[in-house]
Structure 1
Amino acid sequence: MNIDAQINQTKDEESERFKVVPIIVSFLIAGFIGLFSETALNMALGTLIVDFNIHETTVQWLTTGYLLTLGILVPVSGLILQWFTTRQLFIVSITLSIIGTFIAAIAPTFSFLMLARVVQAMGTALMLPLMFNTILLIVPPYKRGKIMGLMGLVISFSPAVGPTLSGLILKTLTWHYIFWFSLPVLMIALVFGIVYMQNVSTPTKPKIDILSIILSTIGFGGVVYGFSIAGDGGWGDSTVITAIIVGVIGLLLFCIRQTKMEQPMLRLRVFKYPMFVVGLILVLICMMVILSSMIVLPLYLQNSLALGTFAAGLLLLPGGIVNGLLSPVMGSLFDKFGPKWLVILGIIIVTGSLIGFSTIDLDTSSGFLIAMHICMMIGVSMIMMPAQTNGLNELPRELYPDGTAIMNTLQQVAGAIGTAVAISILSSGTEKYLKNVTDATNPLNKLLAFTSGVQDAFIFAIIVAIIGLIVSLFIKRVHV
């Protein structure tokens, strides 16, 4: 028997004491419904504005507050994972999701719904790092691609069907039923987890540094908040500028403190591993492209093409489904061939689809949009999980909590940045077009101006993708 086979056999024997399939299923159910309720609510924002008699900037807090909670709690998750058992964290995270979903389902006012979103985000902030950390501990490296691919299926499929299903719900029922339908599935996930979830790590209970938690909260919270409100307030808004500056200063102080502590809250030496850094950059670029596209495309479909929410959701559904179905396939290919050519080809496909999107106008056919969206999501499936898995594979076992916490935290930051920049470019592109027409009040000119802003936003996404292509050339397979 050769050395590799002996190593693989040893890793298999180590993982056999865990019931891998039931544990993974528990996470899949919880992850699916958590992400579904997140994106499903976005389609109901217009209805909520009318029902609660609130302004657009107020209702946007349902998203901003959710992202802000993630930005504050996910960095601390690396410490939390080392203080509590897997079962404890799973049960607490699902319970928080259930409580938040129930409050949302019965919410009589906007304040109650806002509270519900924060509680839901607390559950998600615990669930995401716990899920990735558990996979790293119970699945041997040479099998992780396939399992990560299954997670990718859930992460991609649930946001894809969320807008379509919520559009269908809103056609016949009130927005409350988005949460009522989610509640029983979360209950099933809780029961399933109580029965099958095992403790896969031993809590080491490192020292808690209160100042690090405060700096982390100010740093990540300030940056996420600043970029989240920049789309509405504009980059010149004093609140936006102050939040981002305070956040950056907080992050700098946080990083300096972590490097000088014997037991840091977040061990930044994960950045000494080159493939982790490359994988992280590619994942962040993917998040920026996905979230900027997924906020610009629905706006284009509903404003420029005058489609309803349900029709817009249906048009974007095929790409999400294809991405979800391909994720396990890409995971298996990663296990067999490594990440290099998968990721490079994926970035090329994504860039090509974004170039296609940058040409859309008022006469663009639905078939072209569906084809471009499918191509983009195929490319994403070739990048996201292979880059993430390869990067995490390079880390030693004791750095898994820190690596997953950093990767999940910076994804929220990248998402907030990508969304804010895309919206601001769309707005400035629209204004620039209207300044160069003779009749800015003409409805046709307004549509053409908005479409021009959409094209500019996709040019920004192309630039980000090209940067990703350059970075992808440096990726190498990690042999563990």
Structure 2
Amino acid sequence: MNNTNDFNLKKVLPAVLTIAIGMLLVMMDTTIMNVTLPHIQSAFHQNLSNSQWVITAYTLAMATVIPFAGFLGDRFSDKKVFALAIIFFTIASFLAANAHSMQSLIIWRIAQGLTGGVVAPIGIGMSFKIIPMEKRGSMMGLLGLPMLLAPTIGPALSGFLVKHFNWSTVFLINLPVGVLALIFVLLFLPNFPANKASKIDLKGALLSPFAFPILIYGVHVGTDKGWSNPTALSFVGLGIIMLLLFIIVELRVENPLLHLRAFVIPEFTKGISLMWLNQIVVFGAMLLVPLYLQNVVGLSSKNTGLIMVPQAIASFLGMTIGGRIFDKFGTKAAVLPGFTLGAISLSLFSQIKPSSSLAFTLCAIILLGLSQGLVNMQVNNHALQSVPMKNISRVTPLTNEMMQVVNSFAIAFLTAFLSGQIKKQTGLSPLQANLTAFHHTFWLLLLFVIVGFILTLFLRKKAKA
């Protein structure tokens, strides 16, 4: 089906949209909890430290299961595992909505993470099997929709639901979406043959749960309690040691859980490096811009959310245009303008003031959105397209797992940098100290964009496996 001559939009489009709906179902539950958490805390009479496990447990469960996605898809067929993941994720959502204690809610959140964690890597892997190479830029842009919609719609939807109903509705909303996704899977996803001879990498399977989740948890503790905290240092140190052992094992086995040998492919390494750089900028912007608007400008969370909506719209526009440019002219033609727009946007943010006009702020936000759209899926496609198709099911879990780690480190690093900059601004008023610190942090993000621009110059026009 991945031959251009066999390309049939009427068959491929519903399949890609089905995968996107499944991914949106899972990604929404990552972003929807930030607004809901205080209401859950109040309902179960828990402190913030205990309540945060509702988010942490979900993240760690996903990090635990993602490395197994490739093996599960190969052994039992991608379509079957994708469908079962959606079924059990939906059931776990129903049980979470009916939880009667914080402990039971955390258990069902772990169940959500363990089932939902395989959806994105298997979904992206299926899309590469469905979409011919010459159409991947424009069609894969649809899979970027969940990444755009989840951060924008999630907080707004959860805010509406908890205001007019109660916290349990943020889980109940998953039920119709899950049922719809399952129907679409059965109707539109092609059958992929299962490889009954596929064997699991036992050493890797034993090590991965002690590598990625422990490392990510250590970063979370460090972000929350400071990097001198003994628990943070212990978990980060243990996580790094286990990760090194995992890498050594995976490079020596014939059928690894994660295809780490992909890093010997120059275009994959360059593409994945650009993904990491862009992800730092994306998560940094998602963290900094709303914080600036609320803490410095003094906007409400509702108005901040409304101002951020054009970013998602611009990202979708950039993704659509970028996909077509990618198909016709190659990666650099889309990514270089994308990083250029990102540099202009962050330059504007580094000069922004509470007195800046709404038009100035929206201009910076829209340019940032266009930049993300032009860069994000294009560098992802470039990296994955350089990998032989036979290895794609073991590479998509690798890229997803590394994104979990990079996102955790990005938030921790930028939060620490912003806090440090605020403390350094002695002799200034609190407002001016905050403003200067935000400007310096935006300059730091601009540095990542410049590095990304330079690295893009070394990409081949189109990556080939």
Q: TM-score range by the shorter chain?
A: over 0.9
Identify the range of structure 1 (470-479 vs 335-344) with the bigger mean alpha-carbon deviation. 470-479
C-alpha distance in 1, partners of 2:61/2:332?
35
Native 8 Å contact 1:270 1:402 kept in 2: no
Native 8 Å contact 1:362 1:448 kept in 2: no
C-alpha distance in 2, partners of 1:335/1:223?
37
Instruction: Find out whether 1:451 has 2:435 as its counterpart.
Output: yes
Identify the range of structure 1 (198-207 vs 182-191) with the bigger mean alpha-carbon deviation. 198-207
The SS at the match of 1:44 is helix
1:54 corresponds in structure 2 to 46
Instruction: Find out whether 1:307 has 2:291 as its counterpart.
Output: no
Deviation by residue 1:413-436 (Cα, 9 ceiling, x = unmatched): 111111111111122222233x44
C-alpha distance in 2, partners of 1:256/1:18?
45
2:418 corresponds in structure 1 to 426
Instruction: State the 1:199 CA deviation.
Output: 2.0
C-alpha distance in 2, partners of 1:138/1:92?
20
Instruction: Find out whether 1:34 has 2:26 as its counterpart.
Output: yes
Instruction: State the 1:210 CA deviation.
Output: 2.6
1:140 corresponds in structure 2 to 132
Native 8 Å contact 1:157 1:323 kept in 2: no
Q: Provide the aligned C-alpha RMSD in A.
A: 2.4
Identify the range of structure 1 (256-265 vs 363-372) with the bigger mean alpha-carbon deviation. 363-372
Equivalent residue in structure 1 for 2:250, among 240, 248, 258: 258
Instruction: Find out whether 1:319 has 2:311 as its counterpart.
Output: yes
Instruction: State the 1:16 CA deviation.
Output: 6.4
Equivalent residue in structure 1 for 2:71, among 79, 94, 103: 79
Native 8 Å contact 2:326 2:378 kept in 1: yes
Instruction: State the 1:379 CA deviation.
Output: 0.5
Identify the range of structure 1 (374-383 vs 307-316) with the bigger mean alpha-carbon deviation. 307-316
Instruction: State the 1:408 CA deviation.
Output: 0.9
Q: AA paired with 1:296?
A: L
Deviation by residue 1:395-448 (Cα, 9 ceiling, x = unmatched): 111110122111111111111111111111122222233x445xxxxxxx4344
1:393 corresponds in structure 2 to 385
C-alpha distance in 1, partners of 2:15/2:418?
43
Q: What TM-score do you get using the length of structure 1 for normalisation?
A: 0.90
1:44 corresponds in structure 2 to 36
2:404 corresponds in structure 1 to 412
Unaligned runs of 5+ in 2: none
C-alpha distance in 2, partners of 1:38/1:268?
27
Native 8 Å contact 1:315 1:366 kept in 2: no
Instruction: State the 1:454 CA deviation.
Output: 2.9
Taking the TM superposition and a 5 Å limit, the aligned residue runs for 1:356-371 are 356-371=348-363
The SS at the match of 1:81 is helix
Taking the TM superposition and a 5 Å limit, the aligned residue runs for 1:332-343 are 332-343=324-335
Are the structure 2 counterparts of residues 107 and 356 from structure 1 closer, same or farther at C-alpha, using a change threshold of 3 Å?
farther
C-alpha distance in 2, partners of 1:230/1:10?
45
C-alpha distance in 2, partners of 1:327/1:201?
32
1:271 corresponds in structure 2 to 263
Taking the TM superposition and a 5 Å limit, the aligned residue runs for 1:370-381 are 370-381=362-373
Instruction: State the 1:304 CA deviation.
Output: 2.4
C-alpha distance in 1, partners of 2:24/2:111?
17
The SS at the match of 1:54 is coil
Taking the TM superposition and a 5 Å limit, the aligned residue runs for 1:96-245 are 96-245=88-237
Are the structure 2 counterparts of residues 448 and 268 from structure 1 closer, same or farther at C-alpha, using a change threshold of 3 Å?
same
Instruction: Find out whether 1:478 has 2:463 as its counterpart.
Output: yes
Instruction: State the 1:13 CA deviation.
Output: 5.2
Native 8 Å contact 1:44 1:166 kept in 2: yes
Q: AA paired with 1:321?
A: I
Identify the range of structure 1 (238-247 vs 178-187) with the bigger mean alpha-carbon deviation. 178-187
C-alpha distance in 1, partners of 2:457/2:9?
39
Are the structure 2 counterparts of residues 10 and 269 from structure 1 closer, same or farther at C-alpha, using a change threshold of 3 Å?
closer
The SS at the match of 1:359 is coil
The SS at the match of 1:362 is coil
C-alpha distance in 1, partners of 2:354/2:222?
28
Q: AA paired with 1:226?
A: G
C-alpha distance in 2, partners of 1:479/1:267?
17
Identify the range of structure 1 (14-23 vs 423-432) with the bigger mean alpha-carbon deviation. 14-23
C-alpha distance in 2, partners of 1:454/1:55?
30
C-alpha distance in 2, partners of 1:99/1:364?
48
Are the structure 2 counterparts of residues 118 and 369 from structure 1 closer, same or farther at C-alpha, using a change threshold of 3 Å?
farther
C-alpha distance in 1, partners of 2:443/2:273?
20
Native 8 Å contact 2:2 2:129 kept in 1: no
Q: What TM-score do you get using the length of structure 2 for normalisation?
A: 0.92
1:383 corresponds in structure 2 to 375
C-alpha distance in 1, partners of 2:403/2:174?
25
Q: AA paired with 1:73?
A: V
Q: AA paired with 2:378?
A: P
Equivalent residue in structure 2 for 1:464, among 424, 448, 463: 448
C-alpha distance in 2, partners of 1:146/1:343?
14
Query: Percent of aligned positions with the same letter in both sequences?
Result: 28
C-alpha distance in 1, partners of 2:344/2:47?
38
C-alpha distance in 1, partners of 2:2/2:79?
25
Are the structure 2 counterparts of residues 355 and 223 from structure 1 closer, same or farther at C-alpha, using a change threshold of 3 Å?
farther
Q: AA paired with 1:175?
A: W
The SS at the match of 2:158 is helix
Native 8 Å contact 1:81 1:130 kept in 2: yes
Are the structure 2 counterparts of residues 263 and 168 from structure 1 closer, same or farther at C-alpha, using a change threshold of 3 Å?
closer
1:4 corresponds in structure 2 to none
Native 8 Å contact 1:153 1:328 kept in 2: no
